[in-house]
Structure 1
């Protein structure tokens, strides 16, 4: 029998049972339990079952991904799910699942993501202090969405806070191929995707990550087409940056922003994430040159790497 014939004759139950090898390879979950959860999901959702019958290979690959990220399909945990999309079975990961990976990696003790609405009382106190966020949890109409934030307690103590505006959420949403076709999770569960976007950005600042976190993000970005990766615009050219200006020649607002980036980079070791954030926020090339130079100097002082920023790839406007 050829490999093509084997695929054609494999049923959904066989697809589940033959995924056991991956669970043994990664050794993060009990396959016997996950087999039960996957079977229950199939039998409780006829659309999911019919999709699995038509493409059992996609079900097997989805379970490979479950094994790789180590997030259980237990229905009550709300960490990961098997869902049908575009005629295939994929594994979906909740923002709670991403947080669990951060905790299990040892990067953080806990994290919480919240959305902020117009009628909420919200004050941001910087990237290392808890924000003040007051609202009535029983009020169903809190006004228009303004943005959101994720607060994480570091394993070493202290907090990291990542805030994201509604405009940035929309940019991520609009980069999703599924959303462009008016389908997918951004259409069906927008608030959950907004929370997931915040957590995805926040995790870059957590002191450590591991293969499971990286694989989870890859699955969300590539397999699930959620557009959660760093927003990538079409590139037009490589632009030489001007010489970094002196601090007194830069606006106080930019200096303050860059100082915060430098402090965060030193505290967390996330120098590349700091540079990425500078690139996303600073459109003036002189300001960007100053920011990258300051972050690079801090990295050099901490023995991280050499500072040699001479050019930047700039997107089309």
Structure 2
């Protein structure tokens, strides 16, 4: 076979060709807010822009497909700072970043602010759950409902002691507060494959991995993904139609406000506790 023929055969059997062959399977699991053609072009671009990733994917295409399926299922764009493809040994690992976790929470529409912070040894941290002054009206900000955290941002804050996270719903009420200590952080790190490798994000971006860990612990207590929001809108339409009677049919979701999840005028708000990734980071 000629050199050109060999090149064509190698290209047609390469990782990009395998991704194309499974295009339907990948796009089938994408949430409704993601365009399949755009997502696939980004997936091809990831392979073309990273020689090491392409080499590992050539040796182990199965690990690439697993990582791509995880990326698609979570609704993230390949190669973004929400989801990373990391060559590790003879396989490719798909890693959701802290931003990716927070994005999925915001997509649901029920939470307007996600707060996540790392706590260091020299910080002041107080949380007194259940301590409420019955002589005063309920407050959503303060030690009764959310932790008090004070830090000298320009001083030596010491070693990482733990982290906390919570969400604020559209009506201003907080979600359950999640707190993790250093023992839990160390446990999660030990269970992460290759976490002591110098190239591991646990070594290169430890604080960011702590934020990601506490954000994951928040997930059971707040809605995530755009599909949850779509379902709430659908249910709202059905209730509105029933209340209005059979003669009234609304073609658009009602303009909700306050505590109603999935309001059409929903504003994401800031991502508190956000960090800036290194361009090559895999937090």
The TM tier, using the shorter chain, reads 0.5 to 0.7
2:93, 2:121 → 1: CA distance? 35
State the partner residue of 1:240: none
In the TM superposition, residue 184 of structure 1 has moved relative to its aligned partner by 4.3
Q: 2:168 aligns with which of 149, 153, 157?
A: 153
Structure 2 counterparts to residues 81-160 of structure 1, below 5 A: 81-126=84-129, 129-139=145-155, 141-160=156-175
- Structure holding more helix per residue: 1
Q: 2:71 aligns with which of 41, 61, 66?
A: 66
2:18, 2:113 → 1: CA distance? 35
SS at match of 1:196: helix
State the partner residue of 1:241: none
In the TM superposition, residue 117 of structure 1 has moved relative to its aligned partner by 1.1
In the TM superposition, residue 182 of structure 1 has moved relative to its aligned partner by 8.2
Tell whether the 8 Å contact from 2:107 to 2:225 is kept in structure 1 after alignment. no
Tell whether the 8 Å contact from 2:107 to 2:226 is kept in structure 1 after alignment. no
What is the TM-score normalised by the length of structure 2?
Answer: 0.61
State the partner residue of 1:186: 202
Cα displacement string for residues 110-140 of structure 1 (whole angstroms, at most 9, x for unaligned residues): 312110112223222438623222324344x
1:16, 1:110 → 2: CA distance? 36
Cα displacement string for residues 16-72 of structure 1 (whole angstroms, at most 9, x for unaligned residues): 323321343134222332233233332332211211122223223322222211112
Cα displacement string for residues 218-258 of structure 1 (whole angstroms, at most 9, x for unaligned residues): xxxxxxxxxxxxxxxxxxxxxxxxxxxxxxxxxxxxxxxxx
2:215 corresponds to 1:199: yes
SS at match of 1:157: coil
Structure 2 counterparts to residues 278-289 of structure 1, below 5 A: none
Tell whether the 8 Å contact from 1:15 to 1:59 is kept in structure 2 after alignment. no
RCO greater where, 1 or 2, for CA within 8 Å and sep 6 or more?
A: 2
Counterparts in 2 of 1:74 and 1:59: CA distance versus 1, 3 Å = closer
Cα displacement string for residues 98-118 of structure 1 (whole angstroms, at most 9, x for unaligned residues): 122122234533312110112
1:156, 1:205 → 2: CA distance? 16
SS at match of 1:192: helix
Tell whether the 8 Å contact from 2:30 to 2:74 is kept in structure 1 after alignment. no
2:18 corresponds to 1:18: no
Q: 2:83 aligns with which of 77, 80, 100?
A: 80
In the TM superposition, residue 195 of structure 1 has moved relative to its aligned partner by 1.4
Give RMSD over aligned pairs: 3.2
Structure 2 counterparts to residues 193-232 of structure 1, below 5 A: 193-206=209-222, 208-209=223-224
What is the TM-score normalised by the length of structure 1?
Answer: 0.55
Counterparts in 2 of 1:67 and 1:22: CA distance versus 1, 3 Å = farther
In the TM superposition, residue 209 of structure 1 has moved relative to its aligned partner by 4.9
In the TM superposition, residue 210 of structure 1 has moved relative to its aligned partner by 6.5
